[in-house]
Structures are given as structure tokens and as C-alpha cells.
């Protein structure tokens, strides 16, 4: 769900700020981490790694930073 939230927020950000310069770059900074996280869930070895507490904290930090970036820009 976290990956979906990042992808959806990046796409919504892209749509609402279409007339702004460099909106693609701003939105990609939110979409790419979400897509990587979503892709990692389909890999058996990476999926097992994502269940570790340290990975949850790392993904949480990256996700919060990406979403904050989306809302600030």
C-alpha cells in the first residue's frame, strides 16, 4: 500500500501541476521509489528482506521524504 501511495501521489502531483516547469522531474522523484518498492514485492528474496524491521524503517523514511517532497513542490 505504501508503494501505491507514492505512485498515486506522484501521478496526482504531475496532473495538478502540469503547467509548472520541471513537473516531470518533481513527480518522478516520488513515482520511482514507489515503483521500486512495488517491484521489490514481486521478488521472493527482496520480499523477505522487506519484512525485516530495518527495511521497514528505511522504506518508511524514503516514502515519507518522497511524499513530503511531493506536497512541498
What's the confidence (pLDDT) of residue 61? 92
Q: Which residue reads 521524504 in cell numbers?
A: 65
Helices (H) and strands (E) in the chain, counts: 4, 0
The pLDDT-based confidence of 10 (bands split at 50, 70, 90) is confident
Cell digits of residue 62: 524514503
35-68 per-position pLDDT tens digit: 999 998 898 888 888 889 998 899 889 888 888 8
The mean per-residue pLDDT over the stretch 12-22 comes to 79
Residue 33 CA neighbour count, 13 Å, CB half: 21
Tell me the domain boundaries of the chain.
2-72
- Neighbour-count burial of 9, counting CB atoms closer than 10 A to its CB (0-12 exposed, 13-18 middle, 19+ buried): buried
Amino acid at each position: 500500500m505504501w508503494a501505491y501511495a507514492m505512485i498515486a501521489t506522484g501521478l496526482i502531483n504531475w496532473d495538478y501541476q502540469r503547467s509548472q516547469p520541471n513537473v516531470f522531474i518533481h513527480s518522478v522523484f516520488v513515482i520511482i521509489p514507489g515503483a521500486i518498492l512495488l517491484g521489490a514485492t514481486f521478488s521472493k528474496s527482496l520480499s523477505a528482506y522487506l519484512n525485516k524491521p530495518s527495511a521497514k524503517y528505511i522504506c518508511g523514511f524514503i516514502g515519507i521524504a518522497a511524499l513530503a517532497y511531493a506536497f512541498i513542490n
